[in-house]
Amino acid sequence: MKKTRKTSLNRKVLNRLILFAVVLVITTGALVCIQYYFNQINNYSKQAFDYARTAAHVIDGDRVLGYVETEEKDDYYYEILDFLNVTQYETNLKYYYVFVPYEDDLVYVWDAVNVEGACELGQHEKYMSEKSKAATFEIFRQDPPEKISIQKDKKYGHIASAYSPIFNSSGEPVAVVGVDLSIPGFRRTIAMYMLLVMAAIFTIALIAQILLYSSVDKNIIRPIGLLTRSTEQMIDNLESDKVVDIDIHTGDEIEVLADAVKKMDGDLRNYISELASVTAEKERIGTELNVAKRIQEGMLPNIFPPFPERSEFDLFAAMIPAKEVGGDFYDFFMVDDTHIALVMADVSGKGVPAALFMAISKVLLKTSVQAGRSPAETLERVNNQLLEGNDTGLFVTVWLAVIDITTGQGVAANAGHEHPVVKKANGEFEVIKYKHSPAVSTIEDMKYREHEFVLEPGDCVFVYTDGVTETTNENMELMGEDRMVEALNRHKDAGTAEILSKVKEELDSFAGNAPQFDDITMMIFEYKGIE
């Protein structure tokens, strides 16, 4: 695996501070300069508009059209012209003029003569751009009533143009005052201002970044570097008695972290020592549990066919243990020359107590049946025996049957266990349900019910523990009783060993990758009768 090159915290902080400073300078400088630009534009615009509005108020609107019609000048005409000339001369106005709009034409009335190319009375406009002409007609129509615009022309440079209408005594617009205010060196002014602002911000930001970096380096970067080196030493010194010494006094969370690392060094050493002891103990217990599991499995009959000299029946059983030591068990044995006993049981709980309880239960059941007691009498006796000194509260569910192999007649007792599944000759497996009795080792002096049945040659009895029906798949679905019966019927014509093998395969297929939580125990008995 390719090792990733790591960047030091010192370099990361420095890079981010530089990036922050650059972004701060550019952003702040741009915002300040944009604000300055619009302030300057507004100032020039207001100034130009004030001149336009002043002239519009000074000029007598009733006389304007007469000058255009006669093109004759009088004292008032020259008085207004002198006003425009003086104002233009004393200010930075580039053009100061009055004209009358006629459809798509503009006719000059006054034009300040202090600039080259001033227009005479009655002269038609031939200098203005189409945009400026359109603005003039809009003002004349009072849509909008007044207008200010900033434009840049290759010939005239930056110009702030303002237009204001002149009204006659009837309140009708008769002419328009135009003012062109020159904005010399506008771009240069903005550029110089931007450079000054950005230089000032950069200087302030640089000083602030240096101070901030020094503080971060002293209070964060160096202590963290010391912590890093100390933790590396801590790992290297675990096998020795040398303890790391971290001397950090920042008065904040980093100092708390340093104290925690020192404490962790001691705790880790204690934990490793304790872990070694626990691991050894766990290995010892695991070994004992494995021995207990092997002993438990060895107690179950596992040689098949179990009675090869017997042709009256065929029998097969299997127990697939889960990871933990459990309490499932099965048993079968000849009570006498003509009777066989079948046992399927499940002890509550897991672990060694359940395994011990299973071993005791198995011995007591077998001993009682072989003493000649019926299934119900056996369960009654074993129930009371197990209740004596049962401080753990364990109990066992039991299905117990005794079958006469010469006639097929049988007697069964069910102490809280799963219902048996029976297949008649040439028929299908079906669950045989009848009322249960309570589990063994639950209620003292309990009386258990018996159920009589008759097997014909070719009939089969299948018994199991809840590990079969409660097999769970990855979707947390249970195998269930119905799926189990369907699996049995798919292989109903096979031999006893093959039926159990196929059912186990279907259980594995259903569970998929889901773990096995409980022992899976099954037994099948086929009655063949006397030939």
What's the chain's length in residues?
531
Boundaries of every domain in the chain = 9-188, 237-299, 300-527
Does 141 score more than 70 pLDDT?
A: yes
Report residue 507's pLDDT band, with 50, 70 and 90 as the boundaries: very high
Q: Quote the CATH superfamily of domain 300-527.
A: PPM-type phosphatase domain (3.60.40.10)
Question: What pLDDT does 241 receive?
Answer: 64
Question: What pLDDT does 156 receive?
Answer: 63
Tokens 């589990």 belong to 439
Does 96 score more than 80 pLDDT?
A: yes
Does 431 score more than 60 pLDDT?
A: yes
Question: What pLDDT does 197 receive?
Answer: 74
Between 28 and 236, residue with greater pLDDT: 28
204-215, pLDDT tens digit by residue?
Answer: 877 887 887 777
**Highest mean pLDDT pick, 84-88, 196-200, 325-329:** 84-88
Report residue 164's pLDDT band, with 50, 70 and 90 as the boundaries: confident
Instruction: Please state, in angstroms and as integers, the Cα–Cα distance from residue 200 to each residue in 16, 29, 37, 40, 186, following that order.
Output: 21, 9, 18, 21, 21
Exposed/middle/buried for 272, CB within 10 Å: 0-12, 13-18, 19+?
exposed
Does 377 score more than 90 pLDDT?
A: yes
11-39, pLDDT tens digit by residue?
Answer: 777 777 778 777 777 787 777 777 777 77
Question: What pLDDT does 381 receive?
Answer: 96
Class of the CATH-defined domain 9-188: alpha beta
Question: What pLDDT does 472 receive?
Answer: 94
Distance CA 469, CA 465 (A): 8
Does 99 score more than 90 pLDDT?
A: no
Does 1 score more than 60 pLDDT?
A: no
Does 185 score more than 60 pLDDT?
A: no
Distance CA 511, CA 508 (A): 5
248-278, pLDDT tens digit by residue?
Answer: 777 777 777 777 776 676 667 677 777 777 7
Q: Considering the entire predicted model, what is its pTM?
A: 0.52
What share of the chain in percent tops pLDDT 70? 83
Distance CA 290, CA 323 (A): 10
Q: Mark out the alpha helices in 459-495 (DSSP H runs).
A: 466-469, 480-490
